[in-house]
Structure 1
Amino acid sequence: MPQNPDKIVDHVDLFKQSEYTELFKKKHEQFEGAHSDAEVERVSEWTKSWDYREKNFAREALTVNPAKGCQPVGAMFAALGFEGTLPFVQGSQGCVAYFRTHLSRHYKEPCSAVSSSMTEDAAVFGGLNNMIEGLQVSYQLYKPKMIAVCTTCMAEVIGDDLGAFITNAKNAGSIPKDFPVPFAHTPSFVGSHITGYDNMMKGILSYLSEGKKKDQTNGKINFIPGFDTYVGNNRELKRMLGLMDIDYTILSDSSDYFDSPNNGEYEMYPGGTKLEDAAEACNAEATVALQAYTTPKTREYIETKWNQKTKVLRPFGVKGTDEFLMTLSEMTGKPIPQELEIERGRLVDAMTDSYAWIHGKKFAIYGEPDLIISVVSFLLELGAEPVHILCHNGDEVFKKELQAILDDSPFGKQATIWLGKDLWHFRSLLFTEPVDFFVGNSYGKYLWRDTKIPMVRIGYPIFDRHHLHRYSTIGYQGGINLLNWVVNTILDEMDRNTNITGVTDISFDLIR
């Protein structure tokens, strides 16, 4: 069927046309060697059973849809929060294309990064020549203020030495010797995106602050957001700090980069933490990390090399935000303004309005360690009961911290924490022990379709919904956003289950 150029059909409608449905049918019959519909249905039902769950959890050598990303994704994200910074990945072009599109699909924004385009010859002889040429082209063509280098698996397997390569590139004249080129080794076969974030953050801060330490502090407090992809959070953080009149530096502020205005002018490096402010961060009074598990090496470096106090504060929900603001007040001597107290009251009022719909609801969640701790803590404040908590890239330290939070709440007693498990494990958990809703990123939509359990999209990446990343999730106002997403998912599901006239519509109420 020819396309009408005046009416381009979206792929959702396009593939419903007869020529495509017939094509898919013939492909299924002639090439896929498919089993009968009855056999497919039988196996499908079996995969929902406890018997299959036991076999599923017994596997060791296979991972199916891991709830984590590669190290370079986190490294690039950290680098893009500094002004004029171009991420440079020592590795293959295909890997970098994946990293860029992963961030671009989440934000619906361009993501600039370059690759040394290593191929077979570099895999045999090393990627030094690629580095020398790549840095030269990047510096001359894209005119960055800083180039932040990380690696992919290929460069790590063959043992490329980034420090030596960058020195050789400068000696060869491809970039000026005083041009900042921090680096981090980020092999994708270990760790995850949060490890890469930590490695790059440490690499950038150590490079920029070298020789900048002074005897006196500059009176500021540093804040490290961590791998937080909600651009509204950095803005909310700056707003709260402004209301408290606190002098601060945000170390890696990518909020403008990934949420730049469409004003008719292209800017390759919008926003970001100024390099001189990052260099001066070593002279701050203290550093506050809003995530613990994305910053362990960075915090250790700050404590040992900068001789600076660090603290982890997660301003989620009422309790988390209370602790955040009160700690900052103690650190700075600044009072908590009435405006924030009023916002607290609004969140408490909103929670009171919605409490009856969330209290006692059983939920499951997967994601990154800090996000899980923050969201679970907030939902416990609402009386929701966690059942399955899956964290592919969590460790025993995380498990111990989360277990203490669960033990401290009357609603956390039946929760089980699963480390190193993937979303195919999560599927078995949802089928064998169903819950009222689950929390996760866009990859959970396949679980929603399969299990029919309502899904609340919180985390990274969010590919299949627009603009959620623009909201805040921290602070009292962020708490209202989280509450909104959760309670209205529950109410949406309630309406879906009561919409059959004369059968299920007894409580198809207009007022909830």
Structure 2
Amino acid sequence: MAQNVDQIKDHVELFHQPEYQELFQGKKEFEDCHSADEITRVAEWTKSWDYREKNFAREALTVNPAKACQPLGAIFAASGFEGTLPFVHGSQGCVAYFRTHLTRHFKEPFSAVSSSMTEDAAVFGGLQNMVDGLENAYTLYKPKMIAMCTTCMAEVIGDDLQAFIKTSKERGSIPVDFPVPYAHTPSFVGSHITGYDNMLKGILANLTENKQSESKNGKWNFIPGFDTYTVNNRELRRILNLFGIDATILADNSDTFDSPNEGEFVMYQGKTTLEEGADSINAEGTIALQAYSTTKTREYIEKEWQQPTLVLRPVGIRGTDAFLQKLSEISGKPIPRELEIERGRAIDAMTDSQAWIHGKSVALYGDPDLVYGLVSFLLELGAEPTHIVVTNSNEVFEAELQTLLDSSQYGTNAKLWSGKDLWHLRSLMFTEPVDLLIGNSYGKYLWRDTGTPLARIGYPLFDRHHLHRYPTLGYTGALNLLNWTVNTILDDLDRKTIVPAKTDISYDLIR
């Protein structure tokens, strides 16, 4: 029978068709599944304190961690440099996953290549894969720089990137003077923020070799960190221009993940030129907007470049205040009136919405720097962070966050669950319910199970479009964070008061 294009259905509708429902029922019978009553009983038990104790006792299993693996962060960092092709030394499936992960979040095509290691390379080593891969990548895609990182396979067998790159150049795969910075990024340790840090350090070490001069260039370096709100780089540039600060952003991938559609494909969109990267060693200093995705890079800059570094997180009012005061100090100029007006608007908006957020208990999860900024902002609103899950935490972050929580009466009931995952958070939210959940798209399962409204903030955001196109940095960013949180609460209130003549007493337009 000929296909009828008018009958093509989206997957949302497709699997509700009778033929699929019949197939699913037959599958259940074939698998001899538990009864519906037993499934319900166990599901209810997983909401209990008894299950919570068993859940938190597990050690050898992680369920839905709030982190990704190192190579993803590495290729994210590499994408911020001019003409740079990320090269993943490992299996083809790994790099396909990283590309897909970034593409699904940003809704932008992302280019990266692989040495395509298979079983034979796992036994005999991946040198020949790299020799061939570098030659193909250089010839076909004509990059200005190839930034290389590793996956689990290459790390387990002990492939030496420095030696392999040297051999590849000796065999003529690429010119001897062609830049190929590298970073060892095993996925079985660390996380995506570790990979970002390792790759950025590797790139800067490569580009700045023998480039230090006797005098400073008068510029300042700014490192965004693993910040998937890449439009923040544009907001940062706008603020720096208002102060008249000459700056280099290391690495600026704002166009890579938010490029205009002008009818022509542009493969390389990184905005930090290789010349700027090389000259960053001669800057007055380096300011990182994240601490825990830049740890090794900042240590390298301080030790090898003898350059001062500083961490400032311009999130919320207090964080932005501190950032602008530092910019005023280094520029010798007062804070521009334009930014003072933006601050006033943000505070006015917070005052307008505070009745709906003040006193609300919040569960949140994400990377250390993201969580720190969100907690600081919530405390400013009078909200009460309660369950804080950071899978890729560390002792330094724990101490810093606790100091922040202790600085406010609204942080009294907060507890940081370091190294825990989202299945742990599920138990916490059932046994100690909260009013609001903040996190990435994976939190929608927690919303479904617990009924807690979810404000989607973080990475990845697969099931919503364009949120990454709004800044979270500065006073403009504070307005966006406020918008997402307060309107999530109001949306949930509408859902809970939507039944006519039963729950619609507060279903109104007066609020």
TM-score band (shorter)? over 0.9
**CA displacement 1:128-165 (0-9 Å, x = unmatched):** 00000000000000000000000000000000000000
* Map of 1:8 onto structure 2: 8
* Map of 1:437 onto structure 2: 436
Q: Provide the rounded CA distance (Å) in 1 between the counterparts of 2:2 and 2:231.
A: 44
* Map of 1:21 onto structure 2: 21
Q: Provide the rounded CA distance (Å) in 1 between the counterparts of 2:126 and 2:480.
A: 47
Shift of the 34–509 alpha-carbon distance from structure 1 to 2, 3 Å rule, reads same
Secondary structure at the residue paired with 2:411?
coil
* Map of 2:104 onto structure 1: 105
Secondary structure at the residue paired with 1:147?
strand
Deviates more, 1:57-66 or 1:269-278: 269-278
Report the residue type matching 1:485 in the other structure: W
CA offset at residue 387 of structure 1?
0.7
CA offset at residue 177 of structure 1?
0.3
Shift of the 2–463 alpha-carbon distance from structure 1 to 2, 3 Å rule, reads farther
**CA displacement 1:242-285 (0-9 Å, x = unmatched):** 11111000001111011111111011002421000010000000
* Map of 2:390 onto structure 1: 391
Q: Provide the rounded CA distance (Å) in 2 between the counterparts of 1:120 and 1:369.
A: 37
**CA displacement 1:26-51 (0-9 Å, x = unmatched):** 11221x32100000000000000000
CA offset at residue 371 of structure 1?
0.2
Secondary structure at the residue paired with 1:411?
helix
Shift of the 261–7 alpha-carbon distance from structure 1 to 2, 3 Å rule, reads farther
Report the residue type matching 2:28 in the other structure: H
Structure 2 length-normalised TM: 0.99
CA offset at residue 2 of structure 1?
7.2
* Map of 1:346 onto structure 2: 345
Q: How does 1:182-261 map to 2 (within 5 A)?
A: 182-261=181-260
Report the residue type matching 1:209 in the other structure: T
CA offset at residue 332 of structure 1?
2.1
* Map of 2:72 onto structure 1: 73
Q: Provide the rounded CA distance (Å) in 2 between the counterparts of 1:158 and 1:115.
A: 17
CA contact (8 A) 2:66 2:422 kept: yes
* Map of 2:44 onto structure 1: 45
Report the residue type matching 2:174 in the other structure: I
* Map of 2:363 onto structure 1: 364
CA contact (8 A) 1:90 1:118 kept: yes
CA contact (8 A) 2:362 2:385 kept: yes
* Map of 1:169 onto structure 2: 168
Deviates more, 1:453-462 or 1:266-275: 266-275
Secondary structure at the residue paired with 2:134?
helix
- Say whether residues 1:315 and 2:348 are aligned partners: no
CA contact (8 A) 2:130 2:164 kept: yes
Q: Provide the rounded CA distance (Å) in 2 between the counterparts of 1:423 and 1:54.
A: 15
**CA displacement 1:214-241 (0-9 Å, x = unmatched):** 1111111100000000122111111111
Secondary structure at the residue paired with 2:65?
coil
CA offset at residue 3 of structure 1?
5.0
CA contact (8 A) 1:226 1:291 kept: yes
* Map of 1:93 onto structure 2: 92
CA offset at residue 174 of structure 1?
0.4
Secondary structure at the residue paired with 1:231?
coil
Structure 1 length-normalised TM: 0.99
* Map of 1:410 onto structure 2: 409
* Map of 2:157 onto structure 1: 158
Secondary structure at the residue paired with 1:318?
helix
Q: Provide the rounded CA distance (Å) in 1 between the counterparts of 2:7 and 2:144.
A: 45
Secondary structure at the residue paired with 2:369?
helix
Report the residue type matching 1:192 in the other structure: S
CA offset at residue 432 of structure 1?
0.4
CA contact (8 A) 1:221 1:287 kept: yes
CA offset at residue 52 of structure 1?
0.2
Report the residue type matching 1:16 in the other structure: H
CA offset at residue 7 of structure 1?
5.2
CA contact (8 A) 1:393 1:419 kept: yes
Secondary structure at the residue paired with 2:387?
strand
Shift of the 364–218 alpha-carbon distance from structure 1 to 2, 3 Å rule, reads same
Q: Provide the rounded CA distance (Å) in 1 between the counterparts of 2:18 and 2:119.
A: 44
Report the residue type matching 1:164 in the other structure: A
Structure 2: tracts of 5 or more residues without a match:
none
CA offset at residue 375 of structure 1?
0.5
The CA RMSD measured in Å over matched residues stands at 0.9
Q: Provide the rounded CA distance (Å) in 2 between the counterparts of 1:134 and 1:334.
A: 50
* Map of 1:473 onto structure 2: 472
* Map of 1:124 onto structure 2: 123
Report the residue type matching 1:5 in the other structure: V
CA contact (8 A) 2:92 2:114 kept: yes
CA contact (8 A) 1:220 1:285 kept: yes
Secondary structure at the residue paired with 2:159?
coil
**CA displacement 1:261-318 (0-9 Å, x = unmatched):** 1111011002421000010000000100000000000000000111111000000011
- Say whether residues 1:334 and 2:326 are aligned partners: no
* Map of 2:304 onto structure 1: 305
CA contact (8 A) 1:246 1:334 kept: no
Secondary structure at the residue paired with 2:5?
coil
**CA displacement 1:401-423 (0-9 Å, x = unmatched):** 00000000010000010111011
* Map of 1:144 onto structure 2: 143
Q: Provide the rounded CA distance (Å) in 1 between the counterparts of 2:3 and 2:143.
A: 43
- Say whether residues 1:491 and 2:482 are aligned partners: no
Q: Provide the rounded CA distance (Å) in 1 between the counterparts of 2:506 and 2:416.
A: 36
Report the residue type matching 2:244 in the other structure: D
CA offset at residue 334 of structure 1?
2.3
Report the residue type matching 1:379 in the other structure: L
Matched-pair identity in %: 71
CA offset at residue 335 of structure 1?
2.0
Q: Provide the rounded CA distance (Å) in 1 between the counterparts of 2:4 and 2:421.
A: 44
* Map of 2:261 onto structure 1: 262
Secondary structure at the residue paired with 2:197?
helix
Kindly tell me the number of residue pairs found equivalent between the two proteins: 511
Q: Provide the rounded CA distance (Å) in 1 between the counterparts of 2:8 and 2:499.
A: 35
Secondary structure at the residue paired with 2:215?
coil
CA offset at residue 6 of structure 1?
4.1
Q: Provide the rounded CA distance (Å) in 2 between the counterparts of 1:178 and 1:254.
A: 25
